[in-house]
Amino acid sequence: MTTTRKCAAVVVGAGPAGVAVVGNLLERQLGSIAWIDPSFESGRVNRKYREVPSNTKVSFFQSYATSLQPFRTIIENTPRPNAFTTMAKLDQEKTCHLHYAADMIRGLTNGLVKMEQVYAYQGFVTAATLSSRPDQAKWTVRIKSANEADELEIETSRLILCTGSHPTNLPVPIPGLEIHSLDLDTVLKPSLLAETLPTTKPTTVAVVGASHSAILALLNLVTLAQSSHPRLRVKWFTRHPLRYAEFMDGWILRDNTGLKGLAADFARSQLEENVLATSAAGKIVTKVDCAGGEAKEKEMYRANLPGCDYITQAVGFTRDPLPQLVKDVGDEAKPLSMEFDHETGAFHETAAVGDGEKIPGLFGAGIAFPQRVVDPYGNVEYAVGFFKFMKFLKKVVPSW
C-alpha cells in the first residue's frame, strides 16, 4: 500500500551527518521533517567501526553534541547515566574508541525521533522526482518500508542526502591472480579479524595504502600476529611516504588527510623507513615500495603479490549508491546528472562547460558530500568528521 504525505524537508540517512542535518533544520523551525533510515542506529560508525580508535579528540564529539539547542534539550532530558555523561567523563584532550561516539549519536537519534516535528520512518529511499514549478521546487520521494511491504510517498521542497560511503574496492592489481579479498571493514574490527584469519597455517595479508585506514589495518594485523596468530605476516604496498597532520600557527596542515592519534604514533614509532627494520612491527610487516609511477607500481605487484593469501585495499571511500533521481520534463522523466557543490551543500546539473543550473531543493552532507576546504598554503582537502560536518551545516543550512 502507498501512503502520501507532505513535509518541509526529507532527510535521507541517520548517521552523524543525518543527525546533524535534522538538528540544524529543527533550529530553523521550518515545519515537519521526514527522516528516513533502514535502522536509525548511528550509521556505519556503529555498524562497522565501534572498535576503531578515533583520530579526533573527545572534545570535538562533545562540541558536535552541544552545538544545537535541540541537541542540548535531548541531553538534558535523557535519564542519567547515559552516552553523554559517559563521553563527558573521558579525557577531552585525548582520542577515544568510536563506540563512545556511536552511542552519543544513538542518544541524539533517540531524542530526535521522539520530537513532534520529526517523522522518522524506518525504510529506504529508492527514488525521487523533481517537478519544477515557477514558485518552488517539489520533490516526490519514494520510500520502501524496512519490511518492504509498504511504500510511502512524501512531497517536499527540500531533499537532503546524507547517505554515506563505503570502502573503495579496486580490482586485484594483477588480473586473474587467485587471492582472497579481505574486506577493510573486517580488518578495522579486531574481534572479527581474529575469527576470520586462520591461526594454524602460515598466512600472508597484502595491505594496500598508507592513509588512516591502511595504518590501522597494519596495526590490527601486527597486534594479531603478536598474540593469537603467530604465523601471520603482512606485505605493505605503499606508493607514498607516511604523511602526518601538523599543528601550525592556529591551523592544522593535512588536517583531513594526515595521520593523527594512535595511527600516527604507531606509524612514527614502528613503520617509518628508519625504524621498520628494527621495530616490533618490522618482524611482521615487509614494506613494498610502489612509488615511482604506474609501470614501477605494476612491477612491484607482479614481484610481490603472488604468494599472498589475502588482499586488503585501504584506498579511500566511495559514495553509497544514491536513490534514482529524476526530473519531470513534460510527459517525460529525465535522469538527473549532477555535481555536488562543496561550498554550499547544493547540487548543479552537470554541464558540458562551466557550472550547470542549480538543482532546486536538493542538498547533501556527510562523508559522501563534504565541504571543500583550502588551507593557508593553498592545499585543497575535503572536511570529513563529526564536528566538521556540523560546522559546515551551521554555515550553509540557513540558505537551504
Ligand X SMILES: NC(=O)c1ccc[n+]([C@@H]2O[C@H](COP(=O)([O-])OP(=O)(O)OC[C@H]3O[C@@H](n4cnc5c(N)ncnc54)[C@H](OP(=O)(O)O)[C@@H]3O)[C@@H](O)[C@H]2O)c1
Ligand Y SMILES: Cc1cc2nc3c(=O)[nH]c(=O)nc-3n(C[C@H](O)[C@H](O)[C@H](O)COP(=O)(O)OP(=O)(O)OC[C@H]3O[C@@H](n4cnc5c(N)ncnc54)[C@H](O)[C@@H]3O)c2cc1C
Residues that bind ligand X (CB under 6 A): 52-55, 170, 208-213, 216, 239-240, 257, 261, 263, 314-317, 384
Taking each helix axis from N to C end, the angle separating 386-396 and 16-28, rounded to the nearest 10 degrees, works out to 30
Closest to 263 (Cα-Cα) out of 212, 226, 313:
212
141 binds, among ligand X, ligand Y, none (CB under 5 to 8 A by kind): none
Between 19 and 36, whose beta carbon lies closer to ligand X? 19
Burial class of residue 53 (count of CB atoms within 10 Å of its CB; 0-12, 13-18, 19+): middle
Instruction: Provide the minimum distance between the beta carbon of 273 and ligand X in the complex, in angstroms, as a whole number.
Output: 17
Residue 13 binding target from ligand Y, ligand X, none, CB below 5 to 8 Å by type: ligand Y
Select the binding partner of residue 291 from ligand X, ligand Y, none (C-beta < 5 to 8 A, by kind): none
CA distance 49 to 394: 26
Residue 208 contacts which entry, ligand Y, ligand X, none (Cβ below 5-8 A, type-dependent): ligand X
Provide the grid cell at 276.
Answer: 621498520
Cis previous bond, 81, omega within 30: yes
Shortest separation between residue 220's beta carbon and ligand X, angstroms: 11
Residue 31 and residue 158: Cα distance in Å, rounded?
12
- Which of ligand X, ligand Y, none does residue 16 bind (CB under 5 to 8 Å by kind)? ligand Y
Closer residue to ligand X (CB): 71 or 237: 237
Q: Which residues pair with 141 in a beta bridge?
A: 128, 154
Cβ at position 212, least distance to ligand Y in Å: 7
The CA distance from 110 to 19, in Å, is: 10
Q: Which residues contact 321 (CB under 8 A, 6 or more apart)?
A: none
Q: Which residue reads 517525460 in cell numbers? A: 332
Query: Where does this chain bind ligand Y (CB under 6 A)?
Result: 12-18, 36-38, 43-45, 49, 52, 54-56, 98, 124-125, 162-164, 188, 213, 317, 320, 323, 366-368, 384-386
Cβ(131)–Cβ(329) below 8 Å: no
Q: Which of ligand X, ligand Y, none does 316 bind, CB closer than 5 to 8 A by kind?
A: ligand X
For the CA atoms of the chain, what is the radius of gyration? 23
Which is nearer to ligand Y, 348 or 391 (by Cβ)? 391
Per the structure block, which three cell numbers stand in for 283? 618482524
From the list ligand X, ligand Y, none, pick the one residue 15 interacts with, judged by a Cβ distance below 5 to 8 Å according to partner type. Answer: ligand Y
What does 239 interact with, of ligand Y, ligand X, none (CB < 5 to 8 A by kind)?
Answer: ligand X
- Which segments of 186-275 are extended strands (E)? 203-208, 232-238, 246-247, 252-253
CB of 142 to ligand Y, least distance (A): 10
Closest to 70 in 3D by CA, of 43, 95, 35: 35
**Which is nearer to ligand X, 54 or 67 (by Cβ)?**
54
Nearest distance from residue 100's CB to ligand Y, in Å? 10
In the complex, minimum distance from the CB of residue 139 to ligand X, in angstroms, rounded to a whole number: 29
Q: Measured from the CB of residue 159, what is the shortest distance to ligand Y in angstroms?
A: 11
Measured CA to CA, the distance from residue 67 to residue 326 in angstroms comes to 35
On whether the CB atoms of residues 225 and 203 are closer than 8 A, the answer is no
Instruction: Closer to ligand X by CB, 122 or 257: give it.
Output: 257
Tell me the three cell numbers of residue 149.
511491504
| C-beta closer to ligand Y: residue 115 or 384 | 384
- Taking the complex as a whole, how short is the minimal distance between the CB of residue 8 and ligand Y, in angstroms? 18
Interacting partner of 45 out of ligand Y, ligand X, none (Cβ under 5 to 8 A depending on kind):
ligand Y
CB of 135 to ligand Y, least distance (A): 28
In the complex with ligand Y, which residue's Cβ is closer, 11 or 234?
Answer: 11
